[in-house]
Structure 1
Amino acid sequence: MSFHEVRFPASLSFGALGGPERRTEIVTLANGFEERNTPWAHSRRRYDAGLGLRSLDDVALLVAFFEARQGQLFGFRWKDWGDFKSCAPCDKPGAQDQLLGIGDGETDRFQLIKDYASGDQCYGRVISKPVIGTVRVAIGGDEVADSIDYTVDPVTGIVHFTSPPGEGAEVRAGFEFDVPVRFDSDRIHTAVSSFQAGEAPSVPVIEVRV
C-alpha cells in the first residue's frame, strides 16, 4: 500500500471535526422487529481538516502537504486529538494501560491494542501506528526496557520481545498513536475571502486499512 510515514501537521488537525463510523445493515421485518448486521469488524474514522485552518499560512502548509501526498494517492499519519492515547485523554500513558495478551513461553510478538469498554461489552482496536518514543511495556506487572527487552515496529505496531514472555504472564503496554489516513478528495478549494467571512474550507480525510 502507498503510505508515507509522516504526520499531518498537528497544528492543523487540532480543532478538526471527526470520529469513528460504523456500517450497519438493518432489515425491518413484517412484524416490526429488526435484524441488524454489519460487514465491518472494525470502525473507520473520518475527519474534516478544514476546521483546523485559521490563517493563510495554514492554507499554505495544507497545500504543501496535500501536493506532497499527491492528493489521495499516498496515506499518512493523523493525530486525533480526542483519541490518541492508551489511557484517558488527560493522563500520561503507563506500562499497565492495555492488555496485549498472555504469554505462553513461545510467542515473542504481540500487537498493540486499545480496548473500548462499556458495560459488559468491549471492542479491541488494533493500533498500527504508535508514536516513536512513547511506548512503555510491562510483563507480569514489571516494566521492561525498550531496545533491551523489546523493540516496537512503528509501522505495524508489533512489539517484538528479545525473549518470549513466560507462560501465564500478562503482557501490557501504554502508548500514544496516530491514525493511518488519506485525503478523501483529489481537490482542495481555498479562498482568502473564506477566512475574512469566517468560513472554513472542507478538507475530508478518511482512515485507511494497513
Structure 2
Amino acid sequence: MAFHEVRFPDDISRGARGGPQRRTQIVELASGDEERNASWASSRRRYDVAYGIRRADDLAAVVAFFEARNGRLHGFRFKDWADYKSCLPSQIPAATDQAIGTGDASTKTFQLVKRYASGAQAWVRIITKPVAGSVAIALNGTPTSSGWSVDAATGLVTFVSAPASGVAITAGFAFDVPVRFDTDTLDVTLDLERLGSITSIPLVEIRR
C-alpha cells in the first residue's frame, strides 16, 4: 500500500501515549517452571493520539488527516517524542552516535540503525524514516559532509565511492516512525459547547 511522506501533527503527537510492544509466548509447566519464546524478532510500536487532542481545532486536524490517509489504507510519519533521535533525549545528534557499518572497499550503501543496549544485551532497530536534513555522517570518527547522500524514505546512506576496508561508518540523525491508523472509524463526541473529543485513536507501526 502507498505510504504518504507526511508527518502527523507534532502538537498533537506530543501528548500521545504508547511505545514498543513485544510478543512473547509463555507456557507454564506442571512443575511451575516456565518456557518462554519470542514470537517477534523485533518490537512493534503502538500509540494512542487521542490524548493529544486539547481543542476543537486539534480534533478537526485529526479528522482531516484521517480522511486524507483513507483510514487504515495509507501509512504516514509519526514523531515519537520519547524516542526520535540517535542519541539520548538530553543530547543533540552527532555524527558519531550510531555505528552503521564498516567499509570493505566495495559496499557503497548502508542502512541507518539505532542500538538499544543494556548490560551485555543489545537490540538493533532499523531506521527507515530519517528526518530530511538531520543526518550527519562520520568516517573513522571524522565528520564528513560530502561524498554521500541519504534517502529520507528508506534510511539508506549511499556513498559516491565505497569507504575503504576497515573504515568505521557512523551516523547521527533524527527520525520518525512509519505508522498507520489502526482503526477505520473515528468515534467523535461533541458536547454542548461544540468541543469535540475522541475516546481512542490507535496507531500501529508499519514493519516491512
TM interval, shorter chain, is: over 0.9
Mean CA deviation greater in 49-58 or 199-208: 199-208
TM-score, with length taken from structure 1: 0.94
Which residue pairs with 2:49 in the alignment? 49
> 1:190 Cα deviation (Å)?
1.7
CA distance in 2, matches of 1:32, 1:197: 53
Mean CA deviation greater in 50-59 or 197-206: 197-206
Deviations 1:52-71 (A, max 9, x none): 00000001100100000000
Distance verdict in 2 for CA 1:109–1:36, change over 3 Å: same
CA distance in 2, matches of 1:78, 1:50: 14
Deviations 1:154-198 (A, max 9, x none): 111010011111111110000000000000000111223299899
Q: Provide the secondary structure at the position in 1 that maps to 2:188.
A: coil
CA distance in 2, matches of 1:55, 1:174: 35
1:99-114 equivalence runs, <5 A: 99-114=99-114
Contact 2:189 2:198 survives alignment (8 Å): no
Contact 2:55 2:196 survives alignment (8 Å): no
Distance verdict in 2 for CA 1:62–1:169, change over 3 Å: same
CA distance in 2, matches of 1:121, 1:115: 10
CA distance in 2, matches of 1:14, 1:60: 17
CA distance in 1, matches of 2:200, 2:132: 30
> 1:39 Cα deviation (Å)?
2.2
Q: Provide the secondary structure at the position in 2 that maps to 1:12.
A: helix
Which residue pairs with 2:199 in the alignment? 201
Which residue pairs with 2:92 in the alignment? 92
Structure 1 residues not aligned, in runs of 5+: none
> 1:141 Cα deviation (Å)?
1.1
Q: Does 1:157 align with 2:140?
A: no
CA distance in 1, matches of 2:10, 2:192: 22
Which residue pairs with 1:36 in the alignment? 36
In the alignment, residue 100 of structure 1 is paired with which amino acid?
A: I
Which residue pairs with 2:187 in the alignment? 189
1:108-123 equivalence runs, <5 A: 108-123=108-123
CA distance in 1, matches of 2:197, 2:62: 16
- Percentage of identical aligned residues: 53
Which residue pairs with 1:11 in the alignment? 11
Q: Provide the secondary structure at the position in 2 that maps to 1:114.
A: strand
Give the strand-richer structure, 1 or 2.
2
Structure 2 residues not aligned, in runs of 5+: none
TM-score, with length taken from structure 2: 0.95
CA distance in 2, matches of 1:43, 1:194: 42
Q: Provide the secondary structure at the position in 1 that maps to 2:157.
A: strand
CA distance in 2, matches of 1:133, 1:45: 24
Distance verdict in 2 for CA 1:117–1:195, change over 3 Å: farther
Mean CA deviation greater in 122-131 or 188-197: 188-197
CA distance in 2, matches of 1:62, 1:198: 11
Distance verdict in 2 for CA 1:206–1:121, change over 3 Å: same
CA distance in 2, matches of 1:47, 1:196: 26
Aligned residue pairs total: 208
